[in-house]
Amino acid sequence: MSPVPKTPDIRLAQQPDADALLGRSPLAALVGMLLDQQVPMEWAFSGPYTIASRLGADDLDAHEIAARDPEEFAALLSEKPAVHRYPGSMAGRVQQLCRFLVEEYGGDAAAVWAGVATGKELLGRLEALPGFGKQKAQVFLALLGKQYGVRPKGWREAAGAYGEQGSYRSVADVTGPDSLAKVRALKQETKAAAKAAKAAKVVKPPGN
């Protein structure tokens, strides 16, 4: 079975060209997920298309990015509009990810999930990627299962709460403006609840 059974209709960047790249390019999807921190989702997932365009290509190439001069690549991501709020540090992370893919998977991003037998195995592979902690790995696993058709046995369980059907917890559940609004609303509710819980904590007097 192909690692990506069909070209999915991705709507994470909310821009047709950028979303089309995410749909056809496994590396673009991984880089978008890597960039998805401390910036709006649309900004992060537009990044791969911006990088490819500035490289004069229609896709990302792990070998080419890995071999680029770090200062030159950082400058590329820093051009206005910047690819990320922290373009310099994120340029380093993108190159680190691409070097890992070259060394471990011959530069083929899809090989990360090709042929995996279980969701647990896939989660382990994703967690091994530079810049992917457990939460980011689980969100991307859920994205692969829900939108890219990559569904090894037990993938929902391995993705944790992000794998739940009908949930609106992460980018894995965003398929357009309406679902994006639901995901953002849930995140705001979660933040508000956490803030309220923290404020409600009673500090015990000394000696008690």
Assigned token pair, 32:
């978008």
What distance in Å separates the CA atoms of residue 45 and residue 39, rounded to the nearest whole number?
Answer: 10
Give residue 155's Cα distance to chain centre.
17
Per-residue pLDDT at 206:
56
Write down the H helix ranges in the chain.
Answer: 16-24, 26-35, 41-54, 62-67, 70-78, 87-105, 119-127, 134-147, 155-158, 177-200
- CA dihedral (185, 189, 194, 200) positive or negative: positive
Question: What is the pLDDT at residue 134?
Answer: 97
The SS3 assignment for 118 reads: strand
- State how far the Cα of 198 lies from the Cα of 158, in Å rounded to an integer: 30
Spatial distance between the Cα atoms of 96 and 102, rounded to a whole number of angstroms? 10
Phi, psi of 118 (to 5 degrees): -135, 160
Which residue in the block uniquely carries the two structure tokens 């056809």? 24
pLDDT value of residue 184: 84
Residue with tokens 């896939």: 122
**How far is it, in rounded angstroms, from Cα 115 to Cα 109?**
13
Report which residue type is found at 9: D
Report pLDDT for 72. Answer: 98
**Residue 193 pLDDT:** 75
The tokens of 135 are what? 């939460």
What does each of the 208 residues of the chain score in pLDDT, given as a tens digit? Answer: 334 446 799 999 999 999 999 999 999 999 999 999 999 999 999 999 999 999 999 999 999 999 999 999 999 999 999 999 999 999 999 999 999 999 999 999 999 999 999 999 999 999 999 999 999 999 999 999 999 999 999 999 999 999 999 889 899 999 988 888 898 888 778 777 777 878 777 555 555 4
For residue 143 the two structure tokens come to 């994205």
pLDDT of residue 187: 75
Query: How is residue 138 written in tokens?
Result: 């689980």
Instruction: Tell me what pLDDT residue 207 has.
Output: 55
Largest CA distance in the chain: 67
Q: Which residues of 1-29 are buried (b: 16+ CB within 10 A; e: fewer)?
A: eebbeeebebbbbbbeebbbbbbebbbbb
